[in-house]
Amino acid sequence: MTAADTRAAVTAGAHAHGTTALPATPSAAPTRRRSARSVVGKVLLAASALVIFVMSVFPVYWMVNTSLQPNSQVRGSEVHFWPENGSLQNYIDVIFNYERAPFLPALANSLQITLLTVLIALVFAFLAAVAVTRFRFRSRVSFIIAILIIQMIPAEAMIISMFRVMDSWHLLNSIAGLTLVYVATVLPFTIWTLRGFVDGVPADLEEAAMIDGLSRTQAFWRITFPLLAPGLVATGVFGFIQAWNEFVFALVINPRPEAMTLPVWLRTFLDPNGGTDWAQLMAGSTLIAIPVVIFFLIVQNRMTSGMVSGAVKG
């Protein structure tokens, strides 16, 4: 800590301009060399930013880069850092000339299950969130505790009994079965996050609108709903990503090729004996990642603030 104290004078000056580096700045003589320090600080900051960027992006880049090259080139002795002889052939092969499980039915399954999940979960969660935020009723706290605890139950612990229950309901390898499972797994999180958003819209606002002559329904749709819409979108996107990426239940409950979702479909490419077609595997990975990346980019701001308000403050 004493070393940190000597640094105070230096950083104090630079900090005002927002140019200080992280605590890593080496300690040195005070004020005189401030501008030189701030230049060094700037360079250090930029360098660390660049390192973080490259480390985050490289795997994504490498996936796309590999997916654009022919497999023979990928398995050559030379590594290509740029997709020379690039083509979309791998994507065409993966989508249309499948050897293992077909892509298009898996895509259709994933889309149906995910969209249904989001729709149902949003409606149910919204109703529950309104109940929890706008009413004080007995067993309200128990309900909240139950929701928080359910979130902590690992899916892997449930696979056997979930399999047996779905089997007894004749819902294995069906859209309805997996949708039901996903709605249930997404609901607690969705309720909890929406609760934060509903809480953020003051009830007084609506009442004021009603004093101004709107009916209750009008007040809700004209005042409250528009304010809630961003929260609904963000929460819905989160549910979408969770359902789209889910792997464990899909693997156990919908294993048949015609009932597979995309992650399970991608899993059929893995070959522990070294025969993996990496180029096609990367094309498949990219295809699955694209919708998620797009959604992330759309709602990124809302998502972090939503998560913070949902998880941390009331």
Partner 1 sequence: MSTVTRPEAPARDDAGAALPDGPPRPKRRGRTGARLTPYALLVPALIILIAVIGWPLLQLVIMSFQEFGRAQVFGAPPEFVGLGNYLGVLGDPEFWQVLGRSVLFAAACVVITMVVGVLVALLMRKLAAGWRLLVSVGLLLAWAMPPLSATIVWGWIFDSQYGVLNYALSEWFGLDFRGHSWLLEPLSFFFVAGIVIVWGAIPFVAFTVFAGLTQVPDEVLEAAQLDGAGPFKRFFLVIVPFLRPILIVVTILQIIWDLRVFTQIYALQALGGLAEQTNTLGVYIYRVSLGTGDFGVGGAISVIVVLFLVAISLYYVRQSLKEDR
DSSP 64-89: HHHHTS-HHHHTSSS--SS-TT--SH
Smaller CB separation from partner 1, 32 or 274: 274
φ/ψ of residue 215, rounded to 5: -80, 170
Q: How far is the CB of 38 from partner 1 (least distance, A)?
A: 12
- Taking the alpha carbons at both ends of the chain, their separation in whole angstroms is 36
Q: How far is the CB of 87 from partner 1 (least distance, A)?
A: 19
CB 182 within 8 A of CB 124: no
Q: How far is the CB of 85 from partner 1 (least distance, A)?
A: 16
The residue with tokens 């096609």 is 280
Smaller CB separation from partner 1, 108 or 159: 159
Smaller CB separation from partner 1, 93 or 246: 246
CB 38 within 8 A of CB 14: yes
Smaller CB separation from partner 1, 108 or 227: 227
Rg (CA), the chain: 26
Which is it for the CA torsion 166, 168, 171, 173, positive or negative?
Answer: positive
Q: How far is the CB of 154 from partner 1 (least distance, A)?
A: 4
Smaller CB separation from partner 1, 68 or 183: 183
CB 23 within 8 A of CB 4: yes
Smaller CB separation from partner 1, 108 or 131: 131
Measured distance CA(241)–CA(120) in Å, rounded: 15
C-alpha distances out from residue 280 to 16, 42, 100, 112, 214, Å: 52, 42, 12, 25, 58
Q: How far is the CB of 34 from partner 1 (least distance, A)?
A: 15
Q: How far is the CB of 176 from partner 1 (least distance, A)?
A: 12
